[in-house]
Amino acid sequence: MNLLINGLITGAVFAIAASGLVVTYSTSGVFNFAHGALGMLCAYVYWDLRVNDAHTWPLLPKGVWPAPVALAFVLLIFAPLLGAVLYRVVIRGLQGTSEIVKLVVPISVLLAAIGLANWVWKPTDSHSIQPFFGADHKVTWFGVVLLWHDLTILFVAIALAVGLRLLLYRTRVGVSMRAVVDDRPLLELNGARPDRVSLVSWMIGVGLSALAGILITPFQGGSLSATLLTLLVINAFAAAMFGRLRNLPLTFVGAVVLGFATRMAFQKPTGLMPKSFDWGGNLRIAVPMILLFIVLIVLPQDRLRGAVTTRTRERFALPSMNATYVSAAGFLVAIILLSRIMAASPLITLSDALAAGIIILSLVLLVGYAGEVSLATMALAGIGGTVFYHHVGHGAASRAGIMAFVIAMAATALVGAVIALPALRLRGLYLALATAAFSLGVEQMVFKEYTVSRRIYPAALILIVALGLGAVYRGFRSHHVRGALIAAGTSGLLLALAATNPWLQKESWSPIFPNGNLQVPRPRILGIDFNPQDNFLLLLAVVFAILGVAMITLRRSAYGRRLTAMKNSPAACATLGLNVVRLKLSVFMISAAIAGLGGCLFAQEIGSVTADRFSLFESMALLMLLVVAGAGYVSGGLSAGLLYGAVFVALGSIFAKIGDDFGALHGVSAWLVHFTVLLPALIGIALGRNPSGFLGDSFARYREMIRDARPVFIAGIGVELLAWFLAFQHVINNWIFAVFTFALASLLPYAGALADPSAFRRRRAAAPAVDPTPLELIGIDRAFTADDLRQIDHGIGLEPGIRA
């Protein structure tokens, strides 16, 4: 009964948080990944007003505020104002962008909120929120002692359910909130203002997130933590998916189920799992995401999507193969030259960036080329590094050769095939949530230290049999006899291997992560020792260049054209006879293999595989930076890797050094160091203004300069080589060289325009105006013109004059 009641209370908290998600998504079409982070931020503000008597909020009374006053200020003023600003500044600008941009921008808000909380409220300090009415006010229900705070959570959840029902079905605002989902243009024709309705819904949603964050903190122990509190509210994603982000009653039912599952199944010593099951602690944390994964798999399958009816603003140019080869050669030459002038610390920083860039290339293939989405990139990379360590990557064999990487890539590709199973029926937001659930599950269940008893051995056999029988049943039900036979044979082989494997039959073992840290050494390939940092940097550069050329070659092949077709219209691909299932499975496996290779190299670069460096938040950061740079470009992977591993790290070091060298600027430099942590997320938030990424505009300017002012481009290369020679001779230091290189790369196209402005004007004047109307919407959005008719006649082979 104790676990039952506590599970009900936990479900009530999840219901409060999930209802806010449903309200915001159903009125704006943007899933608020930052829902938990915003609730965490509001909880910190409540702590500042309620507990911290030294707070320095401007225009607000000093000292400790009474709990009702502080709660009212946060829920009725701060949280709604935060939601309104967020919608006006960020969310409203996402109209006309692709679904991946609508996912990345809220992720950027999430990362910014966590960075801001860690900046303002130091993680090393203690921040605790006491229960409402204090810890001494208790009541007994069915023999269970409960705090008044616990009863408050239950009553608030019930009142919220009734209040939202009345709001949505008994008020004009609520009817408008439901109508804006069904038909936004029709709502405008009826005199309503959809933007205002969405604004109100975001104010309510952030308020509910704040309420959940404040209520759940005392219930979970009272200590505030930016990351943990964000994850606690993120757990409400599973409850929201019970109602498919539309149905509030089903959302509350899902929240109750989620609360029961997390409390009753794995809480020791009275939970349903045996006491000797040492996975219980980690599994309990991962239960919400496991349930989310199951719910997404069980949900009814959406119909195949046709061509997008609203024109998106993303455009990616495809380079020629000659330009690709020249760029790859230039990249390798640049890395070799840089390695000759860099000190040890910058060399490590650049190596970190290139290793991260190789991982990001897997996202270029998956997101930029295929139009799929994944938040499990770093989980796959960590699995690759783990397989490398356990099978061929530790001891003397780790320095043997290439086979270690091949095995790690093959194993990760198989895991990618497992992730592809939900991708065969999920797209966009649902696929992002499924991969996020997988990532968090791997983080909690794989990248943690634990010891599993022999009980896992029969459980593994039962799981293999169940999966095999399920696959055979689905195969025969779908009249796919060959697939059913293959599934039966594969399951039988796995069952035989599991039954005869002595490693599984040990009494106890720590199978994956001893000490929670895997020390991954660097390899020796073809007699070359890559343990020295400069050698390893060259290895990373060669691998990146080979993968980059291979990916552009793949993009220009028939397979790449099929990926583009699937990205634009899966329904059209299926109509034309393309096997969309096989295409999705193959691209997920190739992308996972690249992530596994990058994970091996990244683990070797940083020295180990740890849960912190291969977490869900790291995957979110990589995806955000790639989309900011340009998801459709291989150079976007390189730019995102440099931003992730080098640029912001270098900026933080520069600002810190300024503070150390100039005491008068210490306060300003410390502020800039903290601001550098927020800078990546702020760049991602501004993505709605340029959804193609910053590389598209840069490439366009350089193409114009090379065509119209080529001598300026050649002179720029000469000046850069001169600067490198001065750095090589120690005439200038590396910082001056880096700043000069960045300035030259940014200003060179404008120098070309100043050198020959007439050529730029002539080309712009001669360039035909680009019609923004997609071909399939000509005749619908605008009338046919004579040029349109001539193009149609030419396309179908009709002779001129026949139409007349």
Distance CA 184, CA 68 (A): 38
Query: What is the DSSP-derived secondary structure letter of residue 778?
Result: B
Q: How far is CA 198 from CA 86, 202, 245, 377, 687, in A?
A: 11, 6, 15, 32, 20
Contact 91, 101 (CB under 8 A): no
Contact 335, 536 (CB under 8 A): no
Estimate the crossing angle of helix 734-755 against helix 757-766, to 10 degrees.
60
The total number of residues written for the chain in this structure? 804
Distance CA 679, CA 231 (A): 22
pLDDT band of residue 381 (cuts 50, 70, 90) is very high
pLDDT band of residue 497 (cuts 50, 70, 90) is low
Give the tens place of pLDDT for each residue, 721-770: 999 999 888 888 887 888 888 888 888 888 877 766 555 555 544 444 54
Contact 379, 614 (CB under 8 A): yes
pLDDT of 550 higher than 90: yes
pLDDT band of residue 356 (cuts 50, 70, 90) is very high
Contact 28, 201 (CB under 8 A): yes
Distance CA 327, CA 337 (A): 15
Q: How far is CA 390 from CA 189, 523, 602, 705, 728, in A?
A: 63, 14, 16, 51, 42
For the ranges 19-23, 324-328, 338-342, 604-608, the lowest mean pLDDT is seen at 19-23
pLDDT band of residue 455 (cuts 50, 70, 90) is very low
Q: For position 795, what pLDDT does the model report?
A: 62
Mean pLDDT on 501-518:
56
- Which residues, in sequence order, are bridge partners of residue 139? 146
Checking phi first, is residue 428 left (phi over 0); if not, alpha (psi -120 to 50) or beta? left
> Side chain identity at 299, as an amino acid letter?
L
Q: For position 329, what pLDDT does the model report?
A: 93
Distance CA 359, CA 628 (A): 16
Mean pLDDT on 72-79:
91
Contact 568, 307 (CB under 8 A): yes
pLDDT of 397 higher than 50: no
pLDDT of 546 higher than 90: yes
pLDDT band of residue 480 (cuts 50, 70, 90) is low
Contacts of 719 (CB under 8 A, 6+ apart): 744
Contact 708, 752 (CB under 8 A): yes
Checking phi first, is residue 143 left (phi over 0); if not, alpha (psi -120 to 50) or beta? left
**Buried residues in 518-531 as b, exposed as e (16+ CB within 10 A):** bebbbbeeeeeebe
497-502-503 Cα angle (round to 5): 95
For the ranges 37-46, 106-115, 441-450, 770-779, the lowest mean pLDDT is seen at 770-779
Q: For position 18, what pLDDT does the model report?
A: 83
The whole-chain average pLDDT of the chain stands at 77
> Side chain identity at 577, as an amino acid letter?
G
pLDDT of 603 higher than 50: yes
Contact 71, 214 (CB under 8 A): yes
Detail the DSSP E strand segments found in 105-248. 138-141, 144-147
Q: For position 282, what pLDDT does the model report?
A: 57
508 φ, ψ (degrees, to nearest 5)? -155, 145
Distance CA 322, CA 307 (A): 32
Higher pLDDT, 672 or 229: 672
- Percent of the chain's residues with pLDDT above 70: 76
Distance CA 440, CA 443 (A): 5
Q: For position 792, what pLDDT does the model report?
A: 72
Distance CA 437, CA 441 (A): 6
Instruction: Give the DSSP H/E element, type plus range, for residue 427.
Output: none
For the ranges 278-292, 374-388, 544-558, the lowest mean pLDDT is seen at 278-292
Give the tens place of pLDDT for each residue, 576-587: 777 787 888 889
Locate 72 and state its tokens: 């009212």
Q: For position 766, what pLDDT does the model report?
A: 45
Locate 485 and state its tokens: 């036979």
- Give the three-class secondary structure for 212: helix
Instruction: Give the DSSP H/E element, type plus range, for residue 666.
Output: helix 666-685
Q: How far is CA 75 from CA 215, 284, 453, in A?
A: 12, 30, 47
Q: How far is CA 208 from CA 17, 102, 224, 387, 506, in A?
A: 6, 21, 18, 43, 49
Contact 66, 74 (CB under 8 A): no
Locate 586 and state its tokens: 């193959």
Contact 522, 536 (CB under 8 A): yes
- Which residues, in sequence order, are bridge partners of residue 519? 608
Distance CA 734, CA 726 (A): 10
Other Cβ atoms within 10 Å of 310 Cβ, number: 10
Query: What is the DSSP-derived secondary structure letter of residue 211?
Result: H
Contact 360, 547 (CB under 8 A): no
Q: For position 215, what pLDDT does the model report?
A: 85
Give the chain's end-to-end CA distance (angstroms, integer). Answer: 84
Contact 468, 491 (CB under 8 A): yes
223 φ, ψ (degrees, to nearest 5)? -90, 130
For the ranges 233-247, 440-454, 557-571, 746-760, the lowest mean pLDDT is seen at 440-454
Locate 413 and state its tokens: 């590709």
For the ranges 9-18, 89-98, 493-502, 547-556, the lowest mean pLDDT is seen at 493-502
Other Cβ atoms within 10 Å of 721 Cβ, number: 11
- Three-class SS of 316-341: CCCCCHHHHHHHHHHHHHHHHHHHHH
Mean pLDDT on 402-408:
83
Q: For position 345, what pLDDT does the model report?
A: 85
Distance CA 778, CA 780 (A): 5
Other Cβ atoms within 10 Å of 349 Cβ, number: 17
Contact 238, 254 (CB under 8 A): yes
- Three-class SS of 529-546: ECCCHHHHHHHHHHHHHH
- Give the three-class secondary structure for 509: strand
Give the tens place of pLDDT for each residue, 141-187: 777 777 788 888 888 888 888 888 888 778 887 777 777 766 667 77
Residue 402, burial from CB neighbour count under 10 angstroms (0-12, 13-18, 19+): exposed
pLDDT of 189 higher than 60: yes
pLDDT band of residue 473 (cuts 50, 70, 90) is low
Mean pLDDT on 248-265:
77
Contact 554, 560 (CB under 8 A): yes
C-alpha radius of gyration, the chain, whole number: 28
Q: Which of 374, 379, 381 is nearest to 359 (CA)?
A: 381
Residue in the block written with tokens 């479900």: 11
pLDDT band of residue 511 (cuts 50, 70, 90) is low
322 φ, ψ (degrees, to nearest 5)? -60, -45
Q: How far is CA 760 from CA 166, 398, 405, 695, 746, in A?
A: 61, 56, 49, 20, 18
Checking phi first, is residue 485 left (phi over 0); if not, alpha (psi -120 to 50) or beta? alpha
Q: Which of 362, 383, 384, 375 is nearest to 435 (CA)?
A: 375
- Percent of the chain's residues with pLDDT above 90: 10
Locate 686 and state its tokens: 């501004």
Q: For position 748, what pLDDT does the model report?
A: 85
Locate 498 and state its tokens: 């599991």
Q: For position 454, what pLDDT does the model report?
A: 47
Specify the pTM: 0.80
Residue 11 half-sphere exposure toward CB, CA atoms < 13 A:
24
Query: What is the DSSP-derived secondary structure letter of residue 368?
Result: I
Mean pLDDT on 56-67:
74
Mean pLDDT on 666-681:
78
Q: For position 467, what pLDDT does the model report?
A: 54
Estimate the crossing angle of helix 2-28 against helix 148-170, to 10 degrees.
30
